[in-house]
Structures are given as C-alpha cells and as structure tokens.
Structure 1
C-alpha cells in the first residue's frame, strides 16, 4: 500500500518535511537557550536584592587607562551584584539621562561620578527626578550633591545597548541611554566599565529622588516560543503521515464509495419480457 512513498514526488515531500521539522526544532532550542539565559538574569536580579554588599573590587576591575577611558565590563555573573564603595561626588559632571519613565511619568535619571581615592570614578545612578515645568524634556531641578566623603550601596548595572551621542545642554551632560564608554570620553578621569544603581547612601539621599525600578526579563515569552516551535515540528511530521495514509487508503479503494446507479434512468422492461 505504501510503495508510492518511494516515488520521487513523495521522497521530495519527505525530505522537505524533515528539513522543516529540523529547523523548527533548532529554533525551539534557540528559544530554550534564551529562556535559560533570561531566567539566570532574573535570578541574579533577585539575588542582588537579598545579598550583603561586597567591596566594589569583588565585582568590577578598576580602569587601567588614562582620563576619558572606561575600564573593562563586568563579568556576566557580576552584573546586579550588590556592592559598597566610598568617595566624593563630582557635581560639575552630572549626567542627565532623559526619557526615563517611573510611575508612568517621563523624567530624568541623574548619574553623578563618584571619584574614589585613587582618582578613578564610578558613575552612580542616584535616582529619578521629574522634569521642570514645560514638558518632559525640560531639564529638571537636581537636588544638591552631598559634599565630602560619601558611602554608597548599590547594584552593578552593565552599560546599556544602543547608547547614542552624549551632548551638553545648559552646561550639563545629557544622553538617552547610559553608554559608559561614551560618557567616559566626556569626563576628566578613568571610569569603571559599569555604573551603580543606588540603593542606599550615607549621608542619606535627597527624598526628591525616586528609586529606579528594575524590571525582570520576560523569560516566559521565550518558553512559549519553545513550545510553539516544537509543536510546529510535530505537526509537520504528523501532517506528512496523515496525507500519506489518506493516499494509501485511496489507492487501495478503502473508504471510497461507488457512484450510485440512477434506476429511474434505466429503460423499463418490455411486457413480453
């Protein structure tokens, strides 16, 4: 019944089905890797909230270049690590990160370089502030920067992707995305290769600042894609088998019905017959 499967047409259809199913399985595996990677990120975010603060040197290597350069990026397992470090804020090089949303309001995140005793600096995201009256792009009133020694506790945040140009507006550095390398070129000291998302500060931070929320990655979306691609692979194989079985039954005459005979169209028998 199934000898027709050896014909060129059916062998070609089988090859196409197997290739399509293999591609779908590979796409599912790729999404599974992304699901696992994003799950690890979420776990690190949660762990960073619970862990005791470690010295900065345990999470980030100090920059080794000269002024205007950035140090190495943190290792993947060090991102979101909770660290503590002391230094002095540099209020002359505050960075405003525009277009940031907190509590459904668009405003600015305020990054301030914390200059350490060795002359290197770490960018600290002190929090979110609303724009000045006049629109979301109106430069905000930034609370005064603490003077003297400051101790901060926060989580290591890697440089953001897609960072664009850095410009000065009304004497302040301004950007849309936090690109540490780009910002370092505007600063007069070597800068660490990541920035710090502030959790605590001594002396205490100004209450005008709102904490910047950290969103978890949508790992379950990737898991849904895994199921979707693997299900498509199974459906492709099932569809090939179903069509082949239907063709075999048709060739064997199974499940087919003969054309009914229209008796009314037959000539009537003669009286002598």
Structure 2
C-alpha cells in the first residue's frame, strides 16, 4: 500500500520534510539559547553592584566596550574641546537636551562626555578649562535603534542626533573613541544623565521575541510532520480505494 512513497514525487516530498524539520528544530533551539543567554545576563546584571558602588578604573582598561565593561565607572584625563547639544532626550520624565563635550584624552582619541542634561533651549554651560579628570559610566556607541536617537540629518549646526564615533567622524578632525561616558555627577548644576542598560543584558522586548520565535519554529516543525502524515494517509486511502475498485485508476 505504501509503495507510492518510493515514487519520484514522494522522494521530493520526503527529502523536503527530512531537511525542513531538523532546520526548524535547529532554529528553535538557537532562539531558545538566545533567550537563555539574555536571562543569564539579566541575572548577572541584577547581582552586579551599582556603578556608584564600584571603583572607577582608567578608561583604557575597559576598552573596547562590551557587555562586560559597559556600565562600569571609568576615569579619563584631558582637555575639553568642542561641545554639542544632543536634542530631545528624556531624563526623569522631562524632555530636554544632553550636553556633550569632547575630551581630548592624554595621548589618545577624543572621548565623548555627556556632562549633564538641560531643559530644551537652555544655553549650554561652558566646559571647565585646562586639564581635567572626569569620572563617568562607560556606555557603548548609540545606533539608530537606541531609544531617543534620531537621524542627524537636518539638525542645526552644533547639534548631534546620535552619540557615536560614526556620527562625529565628519564633525571633528580627531579620532573618536567608539564609546562615551555619562558623568556620575553632572557639571555646572546640570542634571546627571543616568546610564542605560546595555542591549541584550536584560529581559526586554527582544528577549521575549526570542522566546516567541522559539515557539514558532517548534510549531513549524510539528506542523510539517503533521502535514506529512496527512498526505501519506490520504495517498494510502486513495491507493486502497483504487485497489478495491471504489475509484477508477487514473492510469487506466
């Protein structure tokens, strides 16, 4: 009755199912691993002390910035230079602007430093002159998916839509660190900008998307197997009916 499984058409169907089911299981397992990694990162982040409770270390010891070093207090020395307004940023539920000043570090690239937050359209406080040593929380460069970021195109001179080396490369002549810090204590009576959680280190929407994709891939695998059994059963029933003479043989 099941000789039809050896026909060329069914060889193609069987090969497709035999490849598709393991692929779906692999993708579902990969998405589950991604979710479990985010859970582990979230647990580690909860156990880690707050930035204010950790000792600050020289910036060079924390670069390049990654999940392990992002959120760590860092110190850097140098001279403040060009300053930018980063518009439409929210702190404590209020809309305003970050005050970002580039710090020319001793013997290295410039470091973007968010010195604080001011209400919209308030003048930017001048940066301290001369050699300074700053202490802030290390943050990775922003990208277009980061909250608050918008396109830098069309902004007035002196404004920056995204804090990143890529957005600064054409605005300053110096090499720029692919990271930035937010001061733990804001300058000039500004409001300190709280550090943000590193992407992929918490149970955010993307983490639960991974869990949802896990279920989808396993459902695809089960549906593929179910449909294969349905097709086999239907073909077997048609073959049996032809053998019993209940339906005409199309080859006759």
Instruction: Flag whether TM exceeds 0.5 (same fold).
Output: yes
Which is greater in Rg?
Answer: 1
1:94-113 matches, cutoff 5 A: 94-103=83-92, 105-113=94-102
Q: CA deviation at 1:225?
A: 0.7
Within the candidate set 114, 118, 135, 1:129 is matched to 118
Within the candidate set 43, 52, 55, 2:55 is matched to 52
In 2, distance between residues paired with 1:127 and 1:37?
33
In 2, distance between residues paired with 1:167 and 1:249?
68
Cα distance change of structure 1 residues 7 and 103 upon mapping to structure 2, 3 Å threshold:
farther
Q: CA deviation at 1:143?
A: 3.6
Q: Who is 1:153 aligned against?
A: 135
CA RMSD of superposed structures (Å): 3.7
* Contact map agreement 1:84 1:151 (CA 8 A) in 2: no
In 2, distance between residues paired with 1:161 and 1:48?
27
TM-score normalized with structure 1 length: 0.65
TM-score normalized with structure 2 length: 0.69
In 1, distance between residues paired with 2:69 and 2:5?
55
* Contact map agreement 2:116 2:187 (CA 8 A) in 1: no
Q: Who is 2:9 aligned against?
A: 9
Q: Who is 2:249 aligned against?
A: none
3-state secondary structure, aligned to 1:160: coil
* Contact map agreement 1:112 1:124 (CA 8 A) in 2: yes
In 1, distance between residues paired with 2:108 and 2:14?
67
2:174 is the counterpart of 1:186: no
What is the aligned residue count?
228
Q: CA deviation at 1:181?
A: 4.0
In 2, distance between residues paired with 1:41 and 1:35?
10
5+ residue gaps, structure 2, are 145-149, 247-252
* Contact map agreement 2:142 2:164 (CA 8 A) in 1: yes
